[in-house]
Amino acid sequence: MSLEAIIIIFTASLVELWLAIPLGLVMGVNPIIITIVSSAGAITAAIVVTILGDNLRTRLLKWRYGDENALQETRLYKVWNKYGVVGLGLLSPLIFGAPLGAAVGIGLGAQKNSLIIWMSIGIILWSIGLTVAGSTGILTLEQMIK
């Protein structure tokens, strides 16, 4: 394991966990390190998007919907009301990716602190799950080859 591998995993996780974790496994990095570094990268991306997102939200709403009332009539907003920031935080790292999930949350009016907390929990859970699944798959393949 090298510093280069850790930097590559961190950088890839800024974009997507689905990219960073298999990349770390292919490079032979310890799964615990992969989980920690990929979680840190995805959480960093979510925090950056959340912090910078308020100004963009105002512009996007005005450009796309005109006002808040038009946004509240969309199907996405109805799903948001049903599952809220908890559902978004737990599912978006897997479905959208952390940065896009954070952008969706900000766009729908989530509170920053709550969004960051639930996104972080979702990122950590999915990082653990995906790393365990990938490691188990590699070990199983190695056993089958022998």
CA dist 127 and 93 (Å) reads 9
Q: Is the pLDDT of residue 83 over 70?
A: yes
Find the Cα–Cα–Cα–Cα dihedral 137, 139, 141, 142, rounded to 10°.
Answer: 160
Tell me if 134 sits within 8 A of 122, measured CB to CB.
no
- Tens digits of residue pLDDT in 15-64: 998 899 999 999 999 999 999 999 999 999 999 999 887 777 666 666 66
Q: Let me know how long the chain is.
A: 146
Could you say which DSSP state residue 16 is in? -
The pLDDT of residue 142: 87
The pLDDT of residue 126: 96
| DSSP states of 82-134 | HHHHHHHHHHHHHHT-HHHHHHHHHHTT--HHHHHHHHHHHHHHHHHHHHHHH
Mean pLDDT value of segment 110-129: 94
Lowest mean pLDDT among 51-60, 67-76, 104-113, 132-141: 67-76
The pLDDT of residue 65: 62
pTM: 0.85
- Percent of the residues in the chain that have a pLDDT greater than 70, as a whole number: 85
Amino acid at 82: K
CA dist 127 and 69 (Å) reads 36
